[in-house]
Structure 1
Amino acid sequence: MANRFVRARPKEDRLVELRERLDNNEIAAMEPFGRAMTRALEKARFDSESGEAVWIEEDYCSPPLAMERAEVLDDYFEDITIVKEDVDEEVGWQRIDDLPRLWAEILDEA
């Protein structure tokens, strides 16, 4: 298992749907990655300078985030980049803690 430091450009017109899927636990129910993905996306931040969502995600895939991208991420984000493939989870979140939460920024604009 590794924790991935992820950056991705949100498809802003699709994020209300993603928020609904998170809220109704649809994504959390996906095996084997749903709970980890839900935790990560719930805590995701927004980098207004780059226009990207950033988060730390627990991942078991090779290539990284393969299942997550196929089932969820590619529907809601573009230009998904693994910035660091194995980051300490706590350190990673601390690195982006000063950024505003993704959902506050995006949904306030919707």
Structure 2
Amino acid sequence: MENENPSILSHVSVGTNDMPRAVAFYDAVLPVLGCKKLMEFPFGAAYGKQFPEFWVQSPIDAKPASVGNGTHICFVAESKEAVHAFYDAAMAAGATEDGPPGPRPQYSP
């Protein structure tokens, strides 16, 4: 069977200890990037444009979720305006930031 997903990743999962809060957060910010909730279960939810590429879930081993030091996830945005809209939605939904949106020439052109 040929893979119809144009992404280089099958999916990314992040853990949470507060599922309702996490789902409310991603429900608020991911639509800004054209994503929607595609699946929801008691243990998690999956988002994407067409495929469930981004998952938020309770850890499978039933241990508490913890921050993965060095973990970095970057969503594709169609424009600078979409980046700023996502940032604004994230801040309004309770996110914290490591710096406002803007060029990062040390990472890419």
More strand by share: 1
Global fold match (TM > 0.5): no
TM-score by length of 2: 0.34
More helix by share: 1
Greater Rg over alpha carbons, structure = 2
TM-score by length of 1: 0.34
Q: Which has the higher contact order (CA 8 A, sep 6+)?
A: 1
